[in-house]
Structure 1
Amino acid sequence: MKSLFKAFMALCFVMALNACKKNLETTDPAQNDAISSVKKGDSIIHKLVVDGQPNYVVEVNGTYYYSDDLIISQEQFNALKKLTVNNLSTQERSTIAQDFAATWPNATVYYQYPDPTTMTAAEYNSFVATIDNAFNKLTNATGIKFVKRTIQPEYIRFVKSGGNNSPLGWRKGGVNAINLYNYNMVGIVMHEIMHSLGVMHEQCRPDRDQYVIVDVSKVIPGYELNYNILSTYAGYGTFDFQSVMLYSSGDFAKDRTKPPMTKLDGTTFSGQRAGISAGDIAGLKSLYFPVVVSGIYRISPVYVSTKSLDIFGGSPADGTRIIIWPSHSNNNQKFVFRKDVHGYYQIKSLLDTNKVLTVRGAATASGTLVEFRTIANTDNQKFKLYNRGNEGFSFAPKHAPGLRLEVSGGGTSNATNVVVGTSNTTSQAQRFNLIKF
C-alpha cells in the first residue's frame, strides 16, 4: 500500500437507514458546532469536525462504523469526540490521534478460524482455504506473521456473515471479529485483514485532494463516512490507484452517472479486487518494519535534509549532547535501532554501541537536552516510533509520551541542539527521516 489509508466497499452490507430525520441533542452543548447527530431509522449518524475536517460515524445498535466495512471501538469513538474540542492541548491531541489505530506487537497476528458449525463443510473448507491463502500472500510479501491462537487474549476471529467488515487495528484485550460475506474472495479477505492490521482507506488519506476530486454531495445520504479524513494520519508514497483498498469512482453515488470521486482531470477509475498492490506491500512494510535489526541509519530532520543527528565532537563520553550537523558517513552519525517492547526502540550509535540516545535526567520538561549515555535500560532511553508516512517519523520517549524528539527551535545552524519538546503533529522540527546506509 502506498498509503496507510485504504478502503474497499463491503459488497453486500447495507445499513438500515430510513429517510426520516430527527436531530439529537449533543452531550456537550458547547460542542454543537463540532458534534452533531441525526437519527435515521435504527441508526444514528454522528458528524464530528476534527481540525476542520468532517468525520462521519454511523452507530447501529451500539456498533460504530467509520466506513461501511470499518468498525471502531467505543474508546476510539470517544477519542474522535475528544479531538473535536478546540482548546484541547496540542500534546493531548497528538497522543490521542497517533495512538488511534495500533499495530500488532512484534508484527505477529493471532487468529481463530470460523466456527464450522455455522456453515456447511464445503463452505468451511473454502473459507479456511481463502484465509490461509490471504495469510500466505501477506506474509510472503511483507513478513508479517499470522499464528493460530492458543490462549492469547488479542486475536482475529473470522465469522461468516451477511457483510464484510473488520475492527480497526490492535487493541489490548480486544478480539477483532472479521465478518465476511465474500469469504471465498482472497482480495476481499486481505482487505479486511488489513483493516485489522490498522490500515485505513486510500481515499481517506489527508493528501487525497492532490490526486482525486471527492464531492460528498453526490453520495447517498448516510454514506458520507466512506470519505472521512482524519488529518493527523499520514500517507505513505503517492496515491495508489492500484490498491486493493481503493473504492471505485461511482461507489455510493446517488446517481451512477455522477460519480462522487474522480481523478483530477475528471476521468473515472475502478478499484481492483485481485489482491494487494506493490504500494499496499510497501505501506505495510513501512508500518510494521520501520527499521530492521541489521540496519544502520542516518537520522535527518525532514525540513533540513542535508543535516543529520550527530554526537557532538564525535565524543563517546557520557553526557555528550546530540546536535545536527552536515551529513557525513562517520560513526557519530550512524545509528542502529534495538527493539525493546511494542513500538519502542533504543537508539545506539556505532561510535559506542554500549551507549544510546537518552533524555537528560529523565526530565519531562519541554526543551530538555538529548544526550549520549551508557545503557541503563531506563524509560528515558527508549523511544516509540510514530510512523508519519511521507512525513517521516516522530520519536516519543517512553517516560514522557507527550514529548517528542525535536531540533531545538526548528533551527538549521550547525550544532543546534536536539531536545525533547511538547508533542505537535504540525511541527516539522519533530519529524525525521531514516536513511539507510
Structure 2
Amino acid sequence: MHKTLMEKRAAAMDAVRAALDKYKAAPTDDNLRGDLETAIKSVDEIDAKLKASEVQGNAEKLLAGASFGDTPGKKGAEPRSLGEHFAKHGLEMVKRQKDGERLDFSVPEFEMKAASEPMVRPLDGSGIAGWGTTFERSIVNQRREQLVVADLMGSANVTQPVIKYLVEKAKRIAEGAFATVAEGAQKPYIRYDTFDVVTESLSKIAALTKISDEMAADYGFIVDWINNQLVYDLSVAEEYQLVQGDGAGSNVRGLLNREGIQEFNIDSTDPIEQLKGIFEASRLPGRATNLSADAVILNELDYGRMRLAQDANGQFLAGGPFTGQYGNGNMLINPPVWGLKTATTNAAVKAGTYVLGNFRQGATVLRKGGVRVDSANQNDVDFEHNLITLRAEERVGLMVPLPAAFVTGTLGTPAGA
C-alpha cells in the first residue's frame, strides 16, 4: 500500500509540474489556474494518506507482541514502560480511528516508581542479561607434554640441506698389526679400513591453520593463543621425530631407528631390579665408545614406580615424602637416577621402555634457520573470503655419529599398569 501511494504521489507531482508549465505560459487563463489548483490538491490528499499510513505503522510496531484486554478479575502483567502502557490502554481506540471514526480519547496516567523504591537485579529476559558477569580473556589450557629431547642433545646450525660426515668403522684395522721385529727382519704392514660415509638430510615439519579477518581484528588474544599453540605443537612433532622418526619419505631418521644403537632389556617388574638394570645399561656406552652416558629418558609411569621404590625396611630409596634419603638432606621431588640427568615424558618414550646414553655429544640436532610463523591472505581463495592462513614450520635433522653411545630396551610392566 505504501509503495502504491508513493507511486500515486510521483504521478501527481508530474501533473503539478505539467500544470505549472502551462500556467506560466498563460497566467491569465482561469482554466489553467484551476487545473494547477486541482493538481496541488491531489498531492495534498495523497500526503495526508501517507501521514496516516506512517502513524498506523508506528503504532503497529509499538504494539507488536503486546497483550490487550485483561480478563475480568485477573490482573495482567504491569506495563514496564510508557510505550507498553499506551499500547495496553489505547489500542482499541487506535483501531477505531484507523477505520475512519472521529474520536477524542485519553489513556490512564502511567505511574512511575517512587524514588524510594529499591532497584533490583534485572531478569534474564530483560535485555541486559549477562551485565552482571565478568568475562576473563585468559584461556585455561589442557595438559601439555614436557619437551625434553632437544634440550638434552647438542645443536648445530647448518647452511646446506644435506650433511655428509665420515665415521670410522668399529674395526679400524682392516689388515695387519703391529708386532715385535728382530734385528734386520722385515717389518709388518698395517692397513686401516675405509670410513663409512653417513648422510643426513633435513626434513620440514609444518602445518597450516585459517582464521577470518574479523577474528584477527576483534579477538586478538585468541589469535595470539593460536600462534603460541602452533609453535608448541610444532615442537611436539619435532620431539617425536627426533626419537621415533623412521626416516621414510620426508620423516627424520630418529635416534631409535639408527643402526648400531645398543639394546638392553630389563624384564623384571620390581622397581629395584629395574634400577639395577639401568645402572648396568648406563655402563654400556663407555664400553663401546669413548663417551659415557649423561642422561636417561623414562616414561612418567615407569619413573613413578622407581621413585616409590623401598628397601627391606620400608624406607624410600629416593627419600620420603617429607625428608631426604634416610632422613638426611633436603627432599628432591624428581631425583636423578644413578646421577644421570633424568627426563620424564609421555610422548617421546612409551611406557615400558627407556633410552639412555650420551645425548650432548652423541647426537646433534641440525637446524637450518629457526621456527617460522607466517601469515598471508592471498592463499587459495582467502582474499575472496576474508580469510588469513597461518603457517608454522621449521627445517630440522638429526646427526648421530656414534649410535653405540645410546642404549634402549624394555622394562617389565606390572599387570594392570
TM interval, short-chain normalised: under 0.3
With a CA cutoff of 8 Å and minimum separation of 6, indicate the structure with the bigger relative contact order. 2
TM-score, length of structure 2 as denominator length: 0.18
- Over alpha carbons, which structure has the higher Rg? 2
TM-score, length of structure 1 as denominator length: 0.18
